[in-house]
């Protein structure tokens, strides 16, 4: 009985797993970019809104005062800028550098969220404005109220944090911005030189002339 040599059989499961992994990488990449960009935008916009309102006693009346997020704390906006820069830098580095930048992105989001949450009940900014307005260093703001913008800012920080966590978890499979190498880091193959024109085919001669070549020169 003759031995039948084994013939390699395609493995559809392996191909399906590779396709699924590639699709998952693209989804995580899109989610990371969306969360990071949205989070930074929300923090920067919401931190410029009115966070607290109150009144200061001046003479026989009161003067309305307000403080925006920058008056209360400039930390969320600064961290949003850092996080946005880290989001871009994730695609400029690879290996251990990508892990470090992804960690910076996550920490920027965490810091922005915590600082915004802490500033949601802050009254120091309005007390300072009351003291400046009345000329009394002991003056404090009255009828203090807070808006929802500090919490919106905190949500933006959480979005940045999620983008950083995605980059930490899946960033090793994301592509880099460099166009000189393929995703696996190997140089791209050079294009093959055009074949020498066939003197028996006039169209090849015309094509060679169009390329500025001498069709009569032998290769």
For position 28, what pLDDT does the model report? 80
Contacts of residue 217, defined as CB under 8 A and 6 or more positions apart, other chains included, come to none
For position 35, what pLDDT does the model report? 93
Calpha distance 48→43 (Å, rounded) = 9
Residues of the chain predicted below pLDDT 70: 1-24, 138, 177-219
Contact of 145 with 53, CB cutoff 8 Å: yes
- Segments making up each domain of the chain, as ranges: 27-176
Contact of 170 with 26, CB cutoff 8 Å: no
pLDDT in tens, 8-25: 555 555 555 544 555 657
Calpha distance 128→113 (Å, rounded) = 24
Which CATH code is given to the segment(s) 27-176?
1.20.140
Angle (nearest 5°) at CA 33 between 31 and 35: 65
pLDDT in tens, 143-170: 788 899 999 999 999 999 999 999 898 8
Contact of 140 with 125, CB cutoff 8 Å: no
For position 188, what pLDDT does the model report? 53
63 forms beta bridges with 56
Contact of 126 with 111, CB cutoff 8 Å: no
For position 115, what pLDDT does the model report? 95
For position 157, what pLDDT does the model report? 96
For position 156, what pLDDT does the model report? 96
For position 192, what pLDDT does the model report? 54
Neighbours of 23 (CB within 10 A): 10
Strands 61-68 and 142-146: unpaired
Q: Please state whether 95 falls in left (phi above 0), alpha (psi between -120 and 50) or beta.
A: left
């Amino acid at each position: 009985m003759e031995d039948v040599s084994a013939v390699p059989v395609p493995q559809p499961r392996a191909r399906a797993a590779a396709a699924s992994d590639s699709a998952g990488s693209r989804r995580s990449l899109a989610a990371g970019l969306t969360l990071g960009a949205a989070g930074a935008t929300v923090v920067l916009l919401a931190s410029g809104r009115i966070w607290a309102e109150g009144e200061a006693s001046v003479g026989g009346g009161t003067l309305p005062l307000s403080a925006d997020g920058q008056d209360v704390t400039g930390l969320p906006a600064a961290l949003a800028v850092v996080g946005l820069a880290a989001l871009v830098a994730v695609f400029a580095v690879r290996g251990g550098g990508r892990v470090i930048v992804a960690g910076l992105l996550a920490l920027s989001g965490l810091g922005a969220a915590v600082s915004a949450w802490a500033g949601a009940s802050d009254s120091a900014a309005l007390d300072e404005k009351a003291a400046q307005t009345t000329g009394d260093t002991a003056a404090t703001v009255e009828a203090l109220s807070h808006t929802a913008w500090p919490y919106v800012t905190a949500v933006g920080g959480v979005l940045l944090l999620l983008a950083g966590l995605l980059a930490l978890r899946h960033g090793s499979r994301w592509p880099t911005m460099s166009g000189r190498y393929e995703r696996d880091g190997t140089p791209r193959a050079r294009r093959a030189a055009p074949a020498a024109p066939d003197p028996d085919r006039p169209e090849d001669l015309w094509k060679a002339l169009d390329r500025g070549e001498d069709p009569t020169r032998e290769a």
